[in-house]
Amino acid sequence: MRFLDFLFPPKCIGCGEVLESASKLIHEKGGDAFCPSCRAEWEMAKLSQCARCRLPMIDCRCSSNMMRRNGNNVLLKLCSYKGEPMGAVKRLIFALKRSADRRAERFAAYQLHMPIMKYASIYLGADLIITNVPRRERGIINFGYDHAAFLAKNLSKITHIPYEPLLLREIDGKEQKNLDEEARRRNVKGVFSLNKKAASIKGRCIILVDDVVTTGASINECISVLKDAEPAAILPVCIAQNARIFTEEDKDK
């Protein structure tokens, strides 16, 4: 047992149940983030079927309507995010965004690195670079960190692909949560810029990390900004894709 586990017994980030102390190796891989029951719920979420391609979410590459309109046809994700009820997926996202519990990041990064490496080995070159959609300033002030950057850095550690903060957030914009698709698109226009201090990305393949993709407005805008620097390819990835994307598209038909 690690000394800290003795003082502060680890709890499941899904349900709060006290967990058995995990070995150092399991801890490093974030494998002690969930209790067995929440972990099973998480695994089921990865296997839930995509409404468009019918593949399990873990194998689905469908991007949102808005992303496709901009020629961004691929989005890797682990599961869908329905918002309700408060299950393992939502708790994991909450833990990432709001708590100082680094197990959520390690767990999410370990989970994400598998589909990313699988895709990269087939479709991307060897010159890869990881970056993230920068968090809103308000979120950084409230919680003290950029969870997407932490997630991307963890991914970098696991995959040995270098991490670079390629994007900057120029203005905060409104919180996207309660905006519709068109309002979201307008809200992120001009929000991001290229970090001039970052390495040149011309001809390189970028893995762009975010936590949740809802309409895809932010990740789309980040892709547009990155494209100006002429990378060879950009692969957007997220933990969860909001299932609403598909229901809204169904309404369009």
Q: Could you list the residues that contact Zn ion (CB under 5 A)?
A: 12, 14-15, 17, 35, 38, 50, 52-53, 60, 62
Q: In angstroms, what is the minimal distance from the CB of 37 to Zn ion?
A: 6
Q: In angstroms, what is the minimal distance from the CB of 225 to Zn ion?
A: 26
Of the pair 12, 151, the CB lying nearest Zn ion is at 12
How would you classify the pairing of strands 128-132 and 192-194? Answer: unpaired
Give the residue ranges of DSSP H helices in the chain.
3-7, 24-28, 36-47, 65-69, 88-98, 103-123, 137-143, 147-159, 181-188, 217-227, 244-252
**Residue in 17, 21, 178, 5 with CA at minimum distance from that of residue 88:** 17
Of the pair 57, 207, the CB lying nearest Zn ion is at 57
- Residue type at 65 in one-letter notation: N
* 15 contacts 35 by C-beta, under 8 angstroms: yes
Q: In angstroms, what is the minimal distance from the CB of 167 to Zn ion?
A: 26
Of the pair 52, 69, the CB lying nearest Zn ion is at 52
Q: Which tokens in the block code for residue 144?
A: 């003290």
Of the pair 110, 145, the CB lying nearest Zn ion is at 110
CA dist list (Å): 9 to 12, 42, 53, 152: 10, 22, 42, 27
Q: In angstroms, what is the minimal distance from the CB of 204 to Zn ion?
A: 27
Q: In angstroms, what is the minimal distance from the CB of 36 to Zn ion?
A: 8
CA distance 53 to 63: 11
Of the pair 72, 131, the CB lying nearest Zn ion is at 72
Q: In angstroms, what is the minimal distance from the CB of 50 to Zn ion?
A: 3
Q: In angstroms, what is the minimal distance from the CB of 156 to Zn ion?
A: 27
- Count of alpha carbons within 13 angstroms of residue 51, beta-carbon side: 15
Can you say whether residue 12 is alpha, beta or left, with left for phi > 0 and alpha for psi between -120 and 50 degrees?
Answer: beta
49: helix, strand or coil: strand
